[in-house]
Every structure is written in structure tokens, then in C-alpha cells.
Amino acid sequence: MSDSSSIHALAYFNLLKTGSWVEERLKKAIKPFNLTHAQLNALYILMESHPKPVCANELKNKILVNNPDITRLLDRLVSKGFVYRDTCSENRRKIDISLTDNGKSLFLKAHDAAKKALGNFFEKQITKEEAKELRRILHKIRA
């Protein structure tokens, strides 16, 4: 294996290891809130739009973690009292999803715990410039 392909392989495995590290820290941080990473991500998307509802398809397209069965994910959040579903007034085939007050409160607490678990999203580990460069590289990999 050449030095070039070796360093690329090392970068690849380091990326995987870091992804697993982040996922484990996140899981541990949000466990007391009885949330999964996918549920936290859904609440984040709803919080960004709050108080405006988000349609289920938009939520499915924006979700960052493994694309779960969005219906089951929403069923769980509804049963926990964190979101509610409503039929869109303009399009009866469209389902609007909104945060409840409990969902908003839970999200803020869980999000804060997740941020702390990751050193305020790595602020303690990398500089702003390094964060910009990391973001640029990760975007480049996915392009």
C-alpha cells in the first residue's frame, strides 16, 4: 500500500472511530431523557421551525441520523406528549408536526446535555478555524 492510500485509509478509519465516539457520548447524554438520537434530531428540526409546524415529509428529508421509519418515530414522540400531529388545512394529505410545550422543554434540556457531552460541539477541542476546515472537508467528502 502506498503512503498516499495508507494515509487515506487511516483518515477513513479515524472518521469512523470519531463518528462512533460522538454517537456513544450522545446516547449516554440523552439516555436520562428517554430519547434516541433520531428523536432528538426530530425535536431539533421542529424547534428550528417552532411555532410553525413542519410536514412529515420535510422532517424525513431533514433528519440527520439514519433515516428511521418516520411514522414510528413520530408515533413515539406523540405518545410521549412531545409533539402533535395535525392535518394541514391547505392540503388534507399533508400532516403537520408541531412541538408541544413539554417537547420544547425536554428538547432544550436534552440538547444542552448533548452539547455538554460533546464539549459544546467541540469548542474545547478545536478552534473556529479548525471547525470551518473540518466542515469544509466533510462537505467535500459527501459531494
Q: Is the pLDDT of residue 109 over 80?
A: yes
**% of the chain beyond a pLDDT of 70:** 94
Rg of the Cα atoms in the chain: 18
- pLDDT on residue 93: 79
- pLDDT on residue 1: 54
pLDDT band at 2; cut points 50, 70, 90: low
Per residue in 85-102, pLDDT tens?
A: 988 777 777 889 999 999
- pLDDT on residue 4: 60
pLDDT averaged over the chain?
89
More confident site: 57 or 6: 6
Within 10 Å of residue 31's Cβ, how many Cβ atoms?
Answer: 12
- According to CATH, what is the number of the domain 3-142? 1.10.10.10
Q: Is the dihedral of CA 120, 123, 129, 130 positive or negative?
A: negative
Q: Which helix (H) or strand (E) holds 96?
A: strand 95-99
- pLDDT on residue 68: 60
Contacts of 83 (CB under 8 A, 6+ apart): 42, 43, 46, 74, 77, 97, 98, 99, 100, 103
- Give the 3-state secondary structure of residue 95: strand
